[in-house]
Amino acid sequence: MDMKNKIREEQIQRKKREERLEQIRHNIQLKFASKRKREEEDETMRLLQLSRQMLSGGEGMNLEHGEEELVLAEYESDEDTKKQAEFDEEDDLEEEHVTKIYYCSRTHSQLSQFVHELQKSPFGKETRLVSLGSRQNACVNDEVRRLGTMQLINDRCMEMQKNKHEKKAEEPSGKKKRESRLTCPYYSYEQMQFLRDEILVEVKDIEQLVSRAQEVKACPYYASRFAIPAAQLVVLPYQMLLHDSTRRASGIKLKNQVVIIDEAHNLIDTITGMHSSQVTGAQFCQAHSQLAQYMERYRSRLKAKNLMYIKQILFLLEKFVGTLGGNIKQNPNFQKVPQDGTTLKSINDFLFYSQVDNINLFKVQRYCVRSMISRKLFGFMEKFQGLEVGIPIKREPKARGLEAVFTKPQPEGPG
């Protein structure tokens, strides 16, 4: 009996010790998280004060011609605002959807082949067909198409729309924030409605649609979206159907509709590719170098919130490089990783190990999307490629690391 009591007491004591150790570990994590939180708040206050001093001291350095477009606009809010709805005015006037068939395939060439077969069939003149594609495939603005990558094309298109809406809002007051705002000449509501009617009258594949859009000076990307509600047959690539935000932004509604998927065995690879991303330590280093140069160049022109988020991104990049065993101050091409192999970590373990658990990554990601900082940085690196811009940090000028870090190989974004 005494032995049983002794064993029971030992078990109770061991359990208390384990609970105490767990509490100590938890307290240590909270202590470090609290400390980093205080440091972040102190840095935020310092940046706010610095921004006020800069504003009170004037606009600072004079920019070269065309450089004004590279400066980040003031970031209004972290939370969802009603401003996003301004760029989707057409959604308020959306027609009622008729019952339709969504036919999707892996590539545009396969979709074009399907459309050509329909054109030769007895139903070719009676079917209201819409061919959907990404901005990369549908854009007719040569200046935007030259940007090359899908993310940069998306960002530039959205920025041009934003400029057009802001231009309309400023006209009554006569105010002018920027010395020049680029707007897309093809984004004309009247011409896009004209092209929409043509789409519904005659079956066209994506190449024929783009060719006709160039003739009538209208945007085929948005004209095809306007035609979706009245269409009987919509042909589109996998990504536009499977990616939720793209589907909603395109006005695709699947409830009570017919969906046909060609070569459905490719779906797993497509979904995996849409939701996967791979970055390297060298890309992190290049992104840090480029963003640091950008901040130093335009520090006197950036508002407090922009400075705060750029500082946070730089901090994240530095921690991520350290987590991979590298050093942000060294050339990434000559760094030696201390250990090889693969390590799997849960999200929480990775955040604690990187010491970034106190930063709201969702806010940072939202800032990167809304501010279009990747496009600004891309323009900055293009403009000053191989030139001295009065910045103490020297890195590889040709690399475009931030684009690689924040540009995920995914389908069309909202808008």
**Looking at 274, 296, 312, which one is the last position of a domain?**
274
pLDDT at 221: 92
Residues 228 and 119 in one domain: yes
| Number of domains making up the chain | 2
pLDDT at 135: 87
Let me know if residue 9 belongs to a domain.
no
Residue 101, classed as helix, strand or coil, is strand
pLDDT by position in tens, the chain (length 415): 677 788 888 888 888 888 887 777 777 767 766 766 677 667 666 666 665 555 554 455 566 665 676 777 777 665 545 444 444 444 444 567 889 999 999 888 889 999 999 999 998 888 999 999 888 888 999 888 888 778 778 878 887 877 766 655 555 544 444 444 578 899 988 999 999 999 999 999 999 999 999 999 999 999 999 999 999 999 999 888 888 888 888 889 888 899 999 988 888 888 888 888 888 888 888 889 889 988 888 888 888 888 889 999 999 999 988 888 888 877 767 777 666 677 888 888 888 888 888 888 899 988 888 888 888 888 888 777 655 444 443 444 444 555 555 444 445 544 5
According to DSSP, the residues that pair with 104 across neighbouring strands are 236, 261
Helix ranges (DSSP H) in 279-386: 281-298, 304-323, 347-354, 361-371, 373-383
Residues 137 and 253 in one domain: yes
Contact 236, 111 (CB under 8 A): yes
**Looking at 274, 304, 332, which one is the last position of a domain?**
274
Neighbouring residues of 163: CB distance < 8 A, sequence distance ≥ 6 = 181, 182, 183
Closest by CA position to 411, among listed 135, 84, 223, 159 = 135
d(CA 361, CA 317) in angstroms, rounded, equals: 12
Contact 177, 166 (CB under 8 A): yes
Closest by CA position to 218, among listed 148, 250, 227 = 227
Residue 255, classed as helix, strand or coil, is coil
How crowded is the C-beta side of 5, counted as CA atoms within 13 Å?
2
Token pair 């050509």 in the structure block, residue? 116
Secondary element (H or E) of residue 194: helix 189-201
Let me know if residue 372 belongs to a domain.
yes
The parent domain of residue 66 ranges over 38-70+278-406
Token pair 């859009």 in the structure block, residue? 213
d(CA 282, CA 404) in angstroms, rounded, equals: 10
Tell me the pTM: 0.64
pLDDT at 251: 86
Let me know if residue 76 belongs to a domain.
no
Both tokens assigned to 228: 């979706």
